[in-house]
Amino acid sequence: MSNAPLMPKATAIWLVENTSLTFDQIAEFCKLHPLEVKGIADGEVGAGIRGLDPITSGQLTREEIERAEKKPSHPLKLAVSKVRLPETKRHRGPRYTPLSRRQDRPNAILWLVRNHPELKDAQIMRLAGTTKNTIAAIRERTHWNSASLTPMDPVTLGLCSQIDLDFEVQRAAKERPQLVQDHGPVLAPAEETTQPYYYEPVSQEEVFGSSAAKPVEQEDDFDVESVFGKLKDLKDLKTKE
């Protein structure tokens, strides 16, 4: 049982109005702040909320309240419930299926086979309360009524609970090997694409090979005056002729 009472604010309102307990005692019992309890007493908090009697609900005894009223340092203790609820146990083994639901088992098996192919035959047998031969016949479509079968949720049919179905599905998923899928090439990491680029000069022979045309060598320097002098001499020679 939880250490906090049900509807703690409503319980605090009732204790403020009907007992002489201190704010600290009520706050500690209801898991509230003492200032919030003081606001309840001043009418600033919890307006419109009806108080809940913890004695009637079995959360406190009258003797416990009187003991705490006489001793302000005494903390209120939640009463232990005398009603013992039976623990729910998981059903193991084949589940009993009512006669009115047995005709729907093939439809539930077909639903399980189609929607949860990861389930093993033993798991389907536990969920639908069937046999391995029936499961094999429905898988291979050799069942005598295969043409008329309609997939139906076994939880809706009442053959198993949603908790049992989820448990078997999660169990099958854990036992199923994980397949590594190849998604093709991926982008290069940012460390490679953002790093600085360094250019290293190369020669023309390294780029085009040894058969590439070599650059024309630069001509030697020549004397301009001597060239014009020769042209002048040729002109004078033609004039004399």
In the chain, domain spans: 8-70, 99-175
Residue 10 has a CB neighbour count (10 Å cut-off) of 19
Residue partners of 50: CB distance under 8 A and separation at least 6: 10, 13
The burial class, CB within 10 Å (0-12 / 13-18 / 19+), for 113 is: middle
* Lowest mean pLDDT across 112-121, 195-204, 226-235: 195-204
pLDDT of 138: 92
Question: Does the pLDDT at position 124 exceed 60?
Answer: yes
Give the confidence band of 22 by pLDDT, cuts at 50, 70, 90: very high
Give the confidence band of 95 by pLDDT, cuts at 50, 70, 90: low
Question: Does the pLDDT at position 192 exceed 70?
Answer: no
Question: Does the pLDDT at position 1 exceed 50?
Answer: no
Give the confidence band of 51 by pLDDT, cuts at 50, 70, 90: confident
Instruction: Write down the mean pLDDT value for the chain.
Output: 77
Q: For 140-172, what is each residue's pLDDT tens digit? A: 989 888 888 999 888 888 888 888 888 888 888
Q: How much is the average pLDDT of 125-131? A: 88
Percent of residues, the chain, with pLDDT higher than 70: 63
